[in-house]
Amino acid sequence: MAKGSETAQAGPVLRRAPVPALGCVHQLVLPTPWEVGPVQIYLVESEPLTLIDTGVRDAPSWSALDAGLEQIGYGVEDVRRVVLTHFHGDHLGQTQRLREAGPGLEVLAHELEVESVENFAEGRSEDIEAAAALLREHGVPGDVIARQSEMRRRWIAEDAALCESTRVDRAVRDGERIGFKDLELEVIHAPGHTAGHLLLHEPRTRTLFTGDHLMGEAVPFTETYYEPGAPDPHDPLARRPRFRGLAGYLASLRDLRRRAFDTILPAHGGVVDRPARCIDDAILFYEVRVQRVLRALEKLGASRHETTAWQVWESLFPKADPVTQMTKRMMMVIGALDVLEDAARVAVSRSAGGRLVYRIV
Ligand SMILES: [Zn+2]
């Protein structure tokens, strides 16, 4: 097969040793049908032969993976281990197919991602219910939520076509080491984009594999969703436990900023050779948005009366489509309100209708 000829993308599939001091690591660039563009996965050419992420599950992505591996001298059946940075389709997608291609594959993921990796499509009808409840609690009107849920159902079906669940053979957590014949990678838990997103650090060359946590030319959206479990009995508002992605993301970035890295190998956007600046840019990106949310609250008179997250959304994005352009922006607004609540800049209470309302303090 002519190498890369089946793929829809321009440019080479393989970048050998993007970090010259770490010659056993190669970058494979696989196409995705999504706006995000190609995804960059990594082959660690050591024992066991390991991929960090696997690309979406479709024919162009599979043939690009096959072509890239072949250029280095391997076949898809030779991969013995996959480490997933997180469960999204362009990372998890082809893992099960790799398992079926070879004699045995060990799949590693953060312990908080196991459920999502193993039940990628199945568990997600509950996600729709939970997302609707979260939007309702934050003041989104019922008709918008109904259209939103319908769109989510479509997305999930589309995702399921491009990504397959697989078993996690080893769940890892922060600080754990992943061993190879001649190197070791340290797991760093980095919540934000997802709850169990992980980074991998190679200490000798100070190389950091970041998945979507830090990227070459973009900043990831951060998630928020209800987690299973009863409301916190100590919370006077009896709020359901919720993953607060943006607060977690900023805390993670500040932790990373205290460490020194030479190179970032992300899942999108090339190779980053100025890690400190990349981290600072991501922090600034969200600090600016938190300030915009605070200013929107001021404009809405939230020092005098209570305001919902939805009112902030409407004020910040008057031209955005309330269905197709709502979810990620709303997650940002709720995330920014979490950050402001943690900093004691806003107070939260519950309105008579059960919605959460915010007031500047
Ligand atoms: Zn992702």
Kindly give the distance from the C-alpha atom of residue 88 to the centroid of ligand 1, in angstroms, as a whole number: 5
Kindly give the distance from the C-alpha atom of residue 311 to the centroid of ligand 1, in angstroms, as a whole number: 28
N- to C-terminal Cα separation, the chain: 65
d(CA 166, CA 239): 33
Question: What is the number of H-type helices and E-type strands within the chain?
Answer: 10, 16
Helix (H) or strand (E) holding 341: helix 327-342
Q: What are the structural domain ranges in the chain?
A: 14-120+159-281
Kindly give the distance from the C-alpha atom of residue 86 to the centroid of ligand 1, in angstroms, as a whole number: 7
According to CATH, the superfamily of the domain at 14-120+159-281 is Ribonuclease Z/Hydroxyacylglutathione hydrolase-like (3.60.15.10)
Q: What is the DSSP letter of 75?
A: -
Contact between 338 and 290 under an 8 Å Cβ cutoff? The reply is: no
Kindly give the distance from the C-alpha atom of residue 54 to the centroid of ligand 1, in angstroms, as a whole number: 12
Q: What is the pLDDT of residue 305?
A: 84
Kindly give the distance from the C-alpha atom of residue 315 to the centroid of ligand 1, in angstroms, as a whole number: 28
Q: What is the pLDDT of residue 3?
A: 31
d(CA 11, CA 301): 52
Kindly give the distance from the C-alpha atom of residue 226 to the centroid of ligand 1, in angstroms, as a whole number: 19
Axis-axis angle for helices 142-162, 124-137 (nearest 10): 150
Axis-axis angle for helices 327-342, 309-316 (nearest 10): 120
Kindly give the distance from the C-alpha atom of residue 221 to the centroid of ligand 1, in angstroms, as a whole number: 9
Q: One digit per residue, pLDDT tens: the chain, 361 residues?
A: 333 333 444 567 999 999 999 999 999 999 999 888 999 999 999 999 999 999 999 999 999 999 999 999 999 999 999 999 999 999 999 999 999 999 999 999 999 999 999 998 766 667 888 899 999 999 999 999 999 889 888 888 887 889 999 999 999 999 999 999 999 999 999 999 999 999 999 999 999 999 999 999 899 999 999 988 888 888 888 899 999 999 999 999 999 999 999 999 999 999 999 999 999 999 999 999 999 999 999 999 977 888 999 999 999 999 999 888 898 999 999 999 999 999 999 999 999 889 999 999 9
Kindly give the distance from the C-alpha atom of residue 361 to the centroid of ligand 1, in angstroms, as a whole number: 35
Kindly give the distance from the C-alpha atom of residue 243 to the centroid of ligand 1, in angstroms, as a whole number: 16
Kindly give the distance from the C-alpha atom of residue 193 to the centroid of ligand 1, in angstroms, as a whole number: 7
d(CA 109, CA 324): 31
CA-based torsion, 63, 66, 69, 71: positive or negative: negative
Strand partners for 263: 207
d(CA 336, CA 289): 7
Strand partners for 265: 209
pTM of the model: 0.93
Helix (H) or strand (E) holding 328: helix 327-342
Kindly give the distance from the C-alpha atom of residue 212 to the centroid of ligand 1, in angstroms, as a whole number: 5
